[in-house]
Amino acid sequence: MTDLSRYDWVRAKIIAAKRARALGFKAISFGLVGVVNTFVDYSVFLIARAALSHSATVVATVGALADVCGCGSPGSILLIAANLMSWTVGVSGSYILNSSFTFAAVSQRKLRWRAYFTFVFAGIAGLIANTTTLVVAAQIFLLPIWAAKGCAIFASFVVNFSISNFIIFRVRTRVAEEMESGR
């Protein structure tokens, strides 16, 4: 192993500090986008939950489904349905905002169907974390719905930022890009 020159050592330290600062800025930007998406997600969730709960047809259908499949109480199934609706709206908004701002240097502010579907499929891990946390917090820990949804949003933030930063919007080398595009 060769010793680094003082120049190389300082250069490596500067690059590492720059990367750490960039990661911090990305996390802050991702968080700000998350605040907007949280408002949208929570609003759509409340509207969908209210609409589903006040529809006699939906309540009867969900009750029958719960009886047939034994997969949960009607209340849990309504929570999951409202959460899936709000997540779908939220993940679409998140992709647009994160492509345009947080990861703009990597995405070049271009929206691509392939990247969107990759973002959606990867976001399913966040959805699973979100829904599991919501149901556990509301049905097992008996937290109020607003608090359970808050816990669910935090869990999905951690999962989604990690996946977005380290997988979806990672910086690719020219060789990797050429291999992916088949050049």
CA 98 from chain centre, in angstroms, equals: 11
Cβ atoms of 101 and 31 within 8 Å: the answer is no
Residue type for position 119: F
pLDDT of residue 173: 61
Cα gap 67→51, rounded to integer Å? 22
CA atoms within 13 A on the CB side of 169: 32
* Domain range list for the chain: 6-181
Q: Please, which contacts does 17-25 make with residues 24 or more away whose CB atoms are closer than 8 Å?
A: 23/165
pLDDT of residue 148: 95
Provide the token pair at 72. Answer: 């949960």
pLDDT of residue 155: 92
Residue environment code for 36-46, b if the CB has 16+ CB neighbours within 10 A, otherwise e: ebbebbbebbe
pLDDT of residue 11: 65
Cα gap 166→10, rounded to integer Å? 26
Mean pLDDT of the region 53-67: 91
Residues 135-157 pLDDT 10s = 999 999 999 999 999 999 889 88
Mean pLDDT of the region 123-137: 91
Cα gap 63→82, rounded to integer Å? 15
Cα gap 13→9, rounded to integer Å? 6
